[in-house]
């Protein structure tokens, strides 16, 4: 995000405006969210950004103070909040699309694909994904067989019980991150699981380097994920722009590391939304008059043709869902080419339809 802001400041600045980004480190402590909000407000922040779960803790303050939140992602519970906008939609909707992909591609009917789920107990982010999986399987009992969920404590390091209970799954939805993702996957493979892992962008693209360092890449062949954003190996203008910037400003080692995660793809998009919002707010009310309400109105009027540069849909709010990217594509890891390959077109999930 910061790289995109620097690029705009040099190449196409907003007249009379300097976008200043200040941060407050919550240290992943929910108790620090309200404190951080008040501190940033005291610094004069006209807009803020945080994780969607954190926004739930301060959304009443945001509405009262007329401070919009511009997030990277969202959750279904705040998707229609008037003061929360996000680049991507909820991760829950990625689960919805993954299960639709399973149903569309299953060749064994009337035998139904068996769906298992593994996650961490007590984490709302993972609970939302579980709720969506249960909902979709409940809506399609003739097409999906739900084997249940194994929700382990956050301190779990051994997954013998969870793996044994999910061993008969045709697809295991993996709602994990960091070391638990690596240790679960390694144990499942070592114990003989031969079928497929599926999970959202945040599971697999967020922690792929860690996963690839923990198990042989050949054992990850066929792993399936879903994403709101295009990937680095796609020949689209959005990715070309990012690559051009990296070639000019990053070292070969930095570029190689960048290709292992989605940080720059998402951050670049986040910066685009922020700059476009500020630019239009300034044009409408003047630089001296830009406040939270002006930024909120500009966010609601966003209209960027991102479909023309490689995303799935134009970025504009057409209904009640306050997220700009509302279509999702399914990708499969191919060990032979060490790449994530698209195996679907862009899909708009029912949870994001008008």
CATH number, residue 39: 3.40.50.2300
Tens digits of residue pLDDT in 167-179: 999 999 999 999 9
**How would you label 291-311 residue by residue, b for 16+ Cβ within 10 Å and e otherwise?**
ebbbbbebbeebebebeeebb
- Average per-residue pLDDT for the chain: 95
pLDDT, tens digit (0-9, with 9 covering 90-100), for 197-210: 999 998 998 898 89
pLDDT band at 60 (very low <50, low <70, confident <90, very high): very high
In a domain, 253, yes or no: no
Q: Give the range of the structural domain holding residue 106, as residue numbers without chain letter.
A: 92-227
pLDDT at 113: 98
DSSP string computed for 54-106: HHHHHHHHHHHHT--EEES-B-GGGTT-TTEEEEE-BHHHHHHHHHHHHHHH-
Phi, psi of 228 (to 5 degrees): -80, -20
> Do 100 and 221 sit in the same domain of this protein?
yes
- Tell me, yes or no, whether 84 and 132 share the same domain: no
- Residue at a domain's end among 201, 227, 253: 227
CA dist., res. 135 & res. 48, Å (int): 32
Least confident of 67-71, 281-285, 336-340: 336-340
Q: How many domains does one find in the chain?
A: 2
If asked whether residues 97 and 208 sit together in one domain, one would say yes
Judged against a pLDDT cut of 80, whether residue 354 lies above it is answered with no
Q: Is the peptide bond before 110 cis (omega within 30 degrees of 0)?
A: yes
What pLDDT was estimated at residue 206? 84
34 and 20 assigned to the same domain:
yes
DSSP state of 199: E
| This prediction's pTM | 0.93
The angle formed by the CA atoms of residues 332, 261 and 239, to the nearest 5 degrees, is: 80
């Amino acid at each position: 995000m910061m790289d995109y802001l620097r690029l705009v400041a040099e190449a196409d600045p907003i007249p009379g405006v300097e976008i200043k980004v200040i941060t407050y480190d919550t240290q992943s402590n929910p108790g620090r969210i309200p404190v951080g909000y008040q501190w940033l407000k005291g610094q004069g922040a006209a807009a803020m950004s945080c994780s969607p779960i954190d926004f739930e803790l301060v959304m009443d303050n945001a509405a009262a103070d007329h401070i919009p939140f511009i997030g990277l992602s969202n959750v279904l519970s705040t998707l229609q909040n008037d003061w929360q906008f996000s680049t991507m939609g909820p991760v829950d909707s990625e689960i919805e699309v993954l299960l639709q992909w399973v149903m569309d591609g299953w060749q064994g009917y009337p035998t139904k694909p068996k769906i298992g789920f593994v996650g961490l107990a007590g984490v709302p982010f993972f609970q939302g994904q579980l709720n969506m999986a249960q909902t979709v399987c409940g809506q399609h009992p003739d097409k999906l067989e739900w084997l249940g969920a194994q929700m382990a404590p956050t301190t779990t390091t051994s997954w013998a019980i969870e793996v044994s209970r999910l061993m008969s799954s045709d697809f295991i939805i993996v709602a994990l991150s960091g070391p638990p993702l690596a240790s679960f996957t390694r144990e499942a493979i070592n114990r003989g699981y031969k079928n497929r892992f599926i999970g959202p962008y945040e599971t697999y693209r967020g922690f792929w380097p860690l996963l690839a360092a923990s198990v042989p890449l050949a054992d990850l062949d066929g792993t399936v994920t879903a994403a709101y954003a295009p990937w680095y190996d796609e020949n689209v203008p959005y990715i070309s722009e990012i690559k051009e910037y990296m070639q000019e400003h990053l070292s070969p080692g930095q570029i190689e590391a960048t290709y292992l995660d989605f940080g720059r793809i998402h951050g670049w998009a986040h910066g685009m939304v922020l700059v476009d919002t500020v630019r239009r707010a300034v044009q409408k009310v003047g630089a001296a008059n830009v406040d939270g309400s002006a930024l909120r109105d500009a966010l609601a009027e966003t209209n960027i043709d991102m479909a023309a540069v490689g995303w799935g849909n134009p970025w504009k709010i057409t209904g009640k869902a306050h997220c700009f990217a509302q279509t999702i594509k399914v990708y499969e890891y191919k060990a032979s080419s060490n790449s994530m390959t698209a195996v679907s077109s862009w899909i708009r999930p029912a949870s994001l339809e008008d």
